[in-house]
Chains A and B, each alone.
Chain A
Amino acid sequence: MSDTAQGTGRRAWYEPDAKLKRRHAADRRLRAYGVAAIVFALTMLMTLVGTIAITAAPAVTQTMVTLNVEVPEGAVDPSDPRGGSYQKILNESVARIFPEVDTPRELRELRQLFSNGGQYALRDKVAADTSLIGRTFEITFPLSDIGDQLRKGVIDRDLPREQRRVSDEQIGWYDRLVEQDRISAPLNWGLIFNADSRFPELAGLWGALVGSFYALLICFLVSFPVGIAAAVYLEEFAPKNRFTDLIEVNINNLAAVPSIVFGLLGLAVFLNFFGMPRSAPIVGGLVLSLMTLPTIIIATRAALKAVPPSIREAAIGVGASRMQTVGHHVLPLAMPGILTGTIIGLAQALGETAPLLLIGMNAFITAAPDSMFNPSTALPTQIYIWADSPERGFTSRTSAAIIVLLGFLVCMNAIAIYMRKRFERRW
């Protein structure tokens, strides 16, 4: 023992030995692994968001065409302006631009260049102002998907004819519209404010946004009070015994149940047993609230636990009942934590797709729901529907919808973080 002490004694105490160097090397390695992991995660995230953003970029604008339309007297009855045959009126004004087109095949191809929504835009304009009847005026409406893709360069003109979806004539007609300065590309507000449609140039997210809003509203109204009540009971009042232990374990299990199972439950209970309306946001909200409940209960219990026992003792010490102690002191102090947990739970619910598919919220519905009992889609199911659609225009719109959804999620999480920072208390 003394020999070794003398042996090492030759080196000064501050000179590192090999073992110390190994320890420091291990420290550095660990730090490097951590940095590498974060860099990897950030790269993946940026790749994901980047590709979605690049794919979504074309959907930011929508190609519109402006036509001079003449609505002849007698073609539309001023007392019933919605009854006119506007498609015919539009076709005539198109024919004035392209007088040489006369074969039925060419006429059909020409019509394919303009959106089916044109006649409705014209109808709405005339219906809003019947003095337009008998006059010539300009109307702007979307070009159809192929026209839109042509402008955005998604359809490659240089490809041989048999490999592209537009004919040479259609390209020529489009170019003539451009020459006549009839083509414009404003911001695509329709993507937000239109309801769904078969035609990409008309399809929008409004129905899905309203549906998601109703579903989240129901989800919040159900899961927030129930979750808080359950958590307060379990944390503050329930006796600690086998039965409450069992409940606790099951709540934690419930949080880990795959969401599609909740969808099956909703299908069996809400639709088949209670006979609630299919595809309705109210059912979607109820199913989502089943999923959100465990999250809220767990978050609430954690927030209640974080309130120091000294506050409870203080309240009980001046003679507050248990209910007063919880209601006046513990719950208000836990509220920031509870709200944070709730928002995170709702954000999860907003992005949830599988349970909504099972209760039919992926139906094709061309109008926003008037109430929470009407059929509707939700944001994630709308993305699912669009991703499944064959038209080229839906590719970019799907990505744009994903960005809208991500935007909402980021906003909700930001609110949660803000509230946590703003109301954080120290004792």
Chain B
Amino acid sequence: MTMLDTTEASGMIMNKTADEAGALAKAVSTAKAGHETKIAASKVSVFYGDKQALFDVSIDIPARQVMAFIGPSGCGKSTFLRCINRMNDTIDICSVRGTIEIDGANIYDPKIDPVLLRARVGMVFQKPNPFPKSIYDNIAYGPRIHGVAKPGPAMDEIVERSLQRAALWNEVKDRLDQPGTGLSGGQQQRLCIARAIAVDPDIILMDEPCSALDPIATAKVEELIDELREQYTIVIVTHSMQQAARVSQKAAFFHLGNLIEVDETDKMFTNPSDRRTQDYITGRFG
């Protein structure tokens, strides 16, 4: 981290404290009013072959809030994120221990079908990855394979609603039959978000969704995340602490495969309880 980044980060934190003191109070009060726990992970360890990537992570993620995972590269935050929809299953050498409960059901229970799980837990990836198909088909694919809607007016409605929720409808409504890969990077990422919400999930996982986008596209996606929080539980992995501060209500700091600290975002950025968190946030490492 350079000096510039450090000052920027701390400056931002100060701004945020000044500007959003009221918002902080509100967030705390809503937390008190009771956001029920949506995802409860307990003692999750992940191994890639012999190498352990995650050590006994236990965390409760509240419903209809944005939880940000921060930490230096290779700290295990993406690995943990991918445990929540069992994306790690696709990696042969990867094995997961511990339990993750969503609404009280352990998703690593053999009775749970990962296909159904992933319909409830949508995912948005680091690099926008629309299917090389039309915009319409990108959205309609999920509902179609899950049998949510038959092709026709019902499907058209789902496509329109998903694109509207992803704040993309007005930009693409006249060219739904054109390839999704022809959109700009920011539009592609919002298309991927629309694709994820088309199957009507409860939870949306985002793995550094803005790292490949320019600042304007980033701002749009962040705005969208803020709107989506009313209906969905969102877990976002980010390298940008400014972004974590802007979009999340709670934050979790990972370091070397361990979960160091979970707290209200505002508290973590102003008054972290762990020395390592403070060092990372102020830019002393990472």
Contacts and interface: CB of A to CB of B under 8 A. Distances in A.
Contacts of B116: 319
B185 to A, nearest CB: 13
Interface stretch (A125-133, A167-175, A310-318): A310-318
Contact of A318 (B92, B127, B196): B196
Given A318-B118, A319-B119, 17 more contacts: A311-B131, A311-B132, A313-B87, A313-B125, A314-B125, A314-B129, A314-B130, A316-B90, A316-B118, A317-B85, A317-B87, A318-B145, A318-B198, A319-B117, A319-B145, A319-B146, A333-B132
A242 to B, nearest CB: 14
Contacts of B92: 239-240
A308 B129 CA distance: 10
A89 to B, nearest CB: 71
5 contacts: A308-B129, A311-B131, A318-B145, A319-B117, A320-B141
A1 to B, nearest CB: 35
B129 A328 contact: no
A318 B146 CA distance: 9
Interface residues of A, number: 21
B125 A318 contact: no
B112 to A, nearest CB: 13
Given A316-B118, A317-B125, A329 B87 contact: no
Contacts of B119: 318-319
- How would you classify the secondary structure of chain B's contact residues: helix, strand, loop or mixed? helix
Given A239-B92, A312-B90, A328-B141, A317 B130 contact: no
Given A239-B92, A310-B127, A313-B87, A318 B141 contact: yes
B199 A319 contact: yes
B122 interface: yes
Contacts of A311: 129, 131-132
Instruction: Please indicate which of the listed interface residues B92, B129, B196 has the most CB atoms of chain A within 10 Å of its own CB.
Output: B129
- Nearest 8 CB-CB pairings of A with B: A310-B129, A318-B142, A319-B119, A317-B123, A319-B118, A314-B129, A319-B115, A321-B115
Interface in A286-318: 308, 310-318
A324 interface: yes
A313 B199 contact: no
B145 A317 contact: no
Contacts of A329: 131
A425 interface: yes
Contacts of B70: none
B90 A314 contact: no
Contacts of A315: 131, 141
Interface string B192-204: 1001101100000
Interface in A180-207: none
Contacts of A312: 90
A101 to B, nearest CB: 78
Interface string B33-57: 0000000000000000000000000
Nearest to A308: B129
Interface string B97-141: 000000000000000000111110011010101111000000001
Nearest to A313: B125
A318 B122 contact: yes
Nearest to B143: A318
B129 A318 contact: no
Interface of B: 85, 87, 90, 92, 115-119, 122-123, 125, 127, 129-132, 141-142, 145-146, 181, 192, 195-196, 198-199
Contacts of A239: 92
Nearest to B139: A318
B255 to A, nearest CB: 26
A311 to B, nearest CB: 6
B125 A310 contact: yes
Contacts of A319: 115-119, 142, 145-146, 199
A320 B119 CA distance: 9
Interface string A321-337: 10010001100010000
A80 B209 CA distance: 86
A349 B129 CA distance: 39
Contacts of B90: 312-313, 316
Contact of B145 (A313, A324, A427): A324
Instruction: Please indicate which of the listed interface residues A239, A310, A314, A320 has the most CB atoms of chain B within 10 Å of its own CB.
Output: A314
Contacts of B129: 308, 310-311, 313-314
A317 B122 contact: yes
A240 B199 CA distance: 32
A317 B146 CA distance: 13
Nearest to A240: B92
Contacts of B131: 311, 314-315, 329
Given A312-B90, A324-B145, A317 B132 contact: no
Contacts of B196: 317-318
A319 B90 CA distance: 13
Contacts of A328: 141, 145
B115 A320 contact: yes
A186 B277 CA distance: 92
A120 to B, nearest CB: 59
A19 to B, nearest CB: 40
Contacts of B132: 311, 333, 425, 427
A421 B141 CA distance: 28
A318 B139 CA distance: 10
Nearest to B93: A240
Contacts of B127: 310
A240 B90 CA distance: 12
A324 B123 CA distance: 17
Contacts of A316: 87, 90, 118
A359 to B, nearest CB: 42
A318 B195 contact: yes
Interface string A367-410: 00000000000000000000000000000000000000000000
A240 B145 CA distance: 28
Nearest to A316: B90
Contacts of A427: 132, 181
Given A310-B125, A314-B131, A329-B131, A320 B145 contact: yes
Contacts of B181: 427
Contacts of B85: 317
B234 to A, nearest CB: 15
Contacts of A313: 87, 90, 123, 125, 129
A312 B127 CA distance: 13
